[in-house]
Amino acid sequence: DPQTIREAFGRAKPNSEYSRIYAAAVARRQADQIYNLSLTRTATVSLGKGAPGVIGIGRVKTPTLAIVCRRELEIRDFVPVAYFEIVAKATVAGGEFQMRHAPRERILQRAKARDVANAANGFEGPLAARVEEKRQKPPKLHDLPSLQKLCGSRFGWSAAKTLELAQELYDGQGKKIITYPRAEVRYLPESAIDDAAKIVAGLREGQTFRTIPMPEPLHIRKGAAGSFYDKGLEGASHHAVIPNVNTISALREVWPRLSLDEKKLFDVIARAYLAALMPDFRYRQTSVTLDVGGFAFRSAGRQPIEMGWRAAFPEWTPAEEKGDEAQLLPALRNGEPAKLSHSKIEAKETRPPPRYNEGGLIEAMQNAWRFVDDEALRERLKEAKGIGTPATRAEIIGGLKRQGFLTAQGKNIVPTEAGLSLFGVLKRADPDLVDPGVTARLEYLLDDVVLGKQEMIGAIDAVCDVAQRIIGKLTESSGGGPPLLGARGGSATRPPASTMKPYAGNRTRRKVGVSKSGRRSRKSLDLGAEDSLDTTADVAVALSAVPSEGVGSKLVAAGGRSGRKSKKAPAKRSRSATDNAAPSVAHAPPSGPRSATETPLRIPFGNKAIALDLGARYRTGGWYAPPGVDLAAFGERGWL
């Protein structure tokens, strides 16, 4: 909106203050190209013999697939265990309530459960009661992942749909009623406290939010446990998603123009904001225990004292609390006698973990530290933002669906057999390929570039090291797999891509079938690769147009031949986004024929300029020293 634009220009800073953000973006782009393109080519050549398509590897995509596959295998391998709990009715002076014997070590034999039930029936003894007054703070404001999770479970929306609706509320014509939707934190800057009263007043102009009892003055919470926290925004580009202060006064006019789903999403965002400015929810927590001959029967419940922020969610009732806390207990005193009756055995069964919906999967991506076993590393990665970014996670999931590796099953998302097969092959080849923790550590390094704790070059080199090590393991792995390993639809049966047809047509205009057959187009392009792509720089330029998601026909056509010649070397790009010269790559010795007077070289990443100054040259297949070049300098550096 115009006001926001004016304020942004008023807060303009020297571009140098944003250099770290730029450096992080460059590092992320380079990391994706180095990792995704190199490992896709290596995996396709090393593992996909006989497969009809490309085995696409993505720094974020592959571990995302792994998260879903692991959960599916846990569910399939899960063996339920039957166990028993005993419930009984407790009678006291003030009324009746239910008590339960559910020990941590579950009762697995019905005979033992029957003994406990018999002992409880008619038992009378003193209650050990504990009553406490407690407070509960409101939930944090929403970022994009929390919105996607909530809307996925409540409305059954895909992550992409939630983002699409949020984007429309943000910049749709005649709307613009929320802040930037791709938020990655759940805090607001402390300067936004001044906007709170205006936003609340604007929301309460409408009928929907008018009945929510807002306090006077508003309840402002600062710091990590609150909503306004400057330190919590360090390294973040955008704050939590809230109603737009600059357009809130027009909400009454905008509201009729919103679709039903847009109204639902705005309602979620607005109520979270109002709740953040309301008092704590106060309640009385009661816990009681009755010792029945060594068997502990327990009960718990809570009674609201002051609804506080819960009043922003009128659909909430005590029955929505989990477990036995759902029941309302009568007034109880410590030591008060209670009598048990109507004891019965409840047969239960352990359950497998639930399948992910899209919102739950995005939360798992955001909290990738949960997949790390090392305790110290887990704690460190909690500070990171997981794998992927709020802006890319929904598209990554969508890409896996389009490739036929994931599919929707009701509200849930499950792997296809092709996805499970690919996961199994990659896990056997190198578990790091499908380990979300590995990607989370790399994301942590990339986040540190924004914070100034890590240099851009260091982050890129770290990705290079990981890619190089995995490439080594992949090339050691032996062969192939079933046809479903590759991307859906083999290259022999798929029609040629739109970018392939003009080029293949120009080269083989008189050849029959090239314009209609993907296989013949690829063959034509492959045969002409040496003529048209004379340098690795040309290959790199051609590959730069390939999306990091699902490298497909372009990779095979433009770079597949080169990739097959040099299995051990990542397809590394130059560090500058504008530098299209030959990339500095540690290549294996060229596999093609060489003159006896040419010497193959192994130039580490980032040393292109030095290598050229020393007389090295580069062409398809790798670096080499021409005849007559002094090799001593290369030997001193270990580049021979």
Q: What pLDDT is attached to residue 564?
A: 37
**What is the distance between the alpha carbons of residues 311 and 308, in angstroms, rounded to a whole number?**
6
**567 backbone dihedrals φ, ψ, rounded to 5°:** -70, -30
- For the record, the structure tokens of 359 come out as 């919102």
Chain centroid offset of residue 516 CA? 39
**What is the distance between the alpha carbons of residues 634 and 625, in angstroms, rounded to a whole number?**
9
Query: Average pLDDT over the chain, rounded to whole?
Result: 80
For residue 478, which amino acid is it? S
- Is the N-terminal amide bond of 217 cis, ω within 30° of 0? yes
Which parts of the chain have pLDDT scores under 70? Answer: 1, 49-52, 316-327, 477-596, 605-606, 620-621
How does strand 337-349 pair with strand 412-415? unpaired
Q: What pLDDT is attached to residue 638?
A: 80
Beta carbons within 8 Å of 25's beta carbon, 6+ residues apart: none
Q: What is the CA radius of gyration of the chain?
A: 31
- For the record, the structure tokens of 319 come out as 């029955």
The CA-atom distances, in angstroms, between 97 and each of 92, 113, 125 are 9, 21, 15
Is 393 within 8 Å of 159 (Cβ atoms)?
yes
**What is the distance between the alpha carbons of residues 31 and 442, in angstroms, rounded to a whole number?**
9
**What is the distance between the alpha carbons of residues 338 and 297, in angstroms, rounded to a whole number?**
11
Beta carbons within 8 Å of 102's beta carbon, 6+ residues apart: 85, 298
Q: What pLDDT is attached to residue 504?
A: 52
Q: What pLDDT is attached to residue 93?
A: 92
User: Superfamily for 144-276?
Assistant: Topoisomerase I, domain 4 (1.10.290.10)
pLDDT tens-digit series, residues 201-246: 999 987 889 999 999 999 999 999 999 999 988 878 889 999 999 9
Fold adopted by 2-77+357-484: Topoisomerase I; domain 2 (1.10.460)
Q: How is residue 263 annotated by DSSP?
A: H
Q: What pLDDT is attached to residue 207?
A: 80
Is domain 82-132+284-349 annotated with CATH 2.40.110.10?
Answer: no
H or E, element range at 526: helix 518-527
pTM listed for this prediction: 0.67
Is 226 within 8 Å of 264 (Cβ atoms)?
no
Residues of the chain with CATH 1.10.460.10: 2-77+357-484
Q: What pLDDT is attached to residue 344?
A: 96
For residue 130, which amino acid is it? R
Chain centroid offset of residue 182 CA? 13
Q: SS3 for 346?
A: strand
Residues of the chain with CATH 1.10.290.10: 144-276
Residues of the chain with CATH 2.70.20.10: 82-132+284-349
